[in-house]
Amino acid sequence: MSSLIGKRMRFLLVLLTVALLPACPAPAAQNCTLADFAGEWYWFVLGAYDEYTETADAKFTLTGNGTMIAGAQGTFNNYPATYLTAELTITPEGYVGGTLECDQVIWHIVRAAMDQAKTEITGTAWGYKSAVIFRMVRVSGEPAQIPGAPAQ
């Protein structure tokens, strides 16, 4: 029975990933740099493997070189967690890589992308025991103008 639940959870994870990743930018539609990370971000994680479920959330500040200002508080599996480091990279097209760490786990980004407004990052990562989907949402800082959109 547990293997059936595990298969269903993995299928759900794949389905959610496929549903979330269309928000990824089309190549050449972006002009991203490390400076696009600068500011405050919300971080949300969901993953599952067999009976194990992985969740996390936090609010932290990233610098303009893709690193985290350490010490942000959040949760990991509903327990308090201190967020320690991030070492993120980004391509000009908006594809994101790197790692993000709290005191209980290091997430290794597998595939992720920043949206054209540079206000959200959606992707997949390897977590504590399983693959996870994650979303980062900008809290502060000025989002970039979407190419071709009317000026605000």
Domains annotated on the chain, with CATH = 2-138 (2.40.128.120)
> What does each C-alpha distance from 53 to 26, 46, 73 come to in angstroms?
32, 8, 20
Would you place residue 78 in the very low, low, confident or very high pLDDT band (cuts 50, 70, 90)? very high
Question: Can you give the pLDDT at residue 141?
Answer: 58
Would you place residue 27 in the very low, low, confident or very high pLDDT band (cuts 50, 70, 90)? very low
Q: What is the pLDDT of residues 29-67, one digit of tens each?
A: 679 999 999 999 999 999 987 778 899 999 999 999 999
Ranges 2-6, 46-50, 51-55, 97-101: which has the least confidence: 2-6
Give the chain's mean pLDDT: 82
Q: Tell me how far apart the alpha carbons of residues 80 and 26 are, in angstroms, rounded to a whole number.
A: 37
The conformation of residue 116, written as its DSSP 8-state character, comes to T
Q: Tell me how far apart the alpha carbons of residues 43 and 133 are, in angstroms, rounded to a whole number.
A: 11
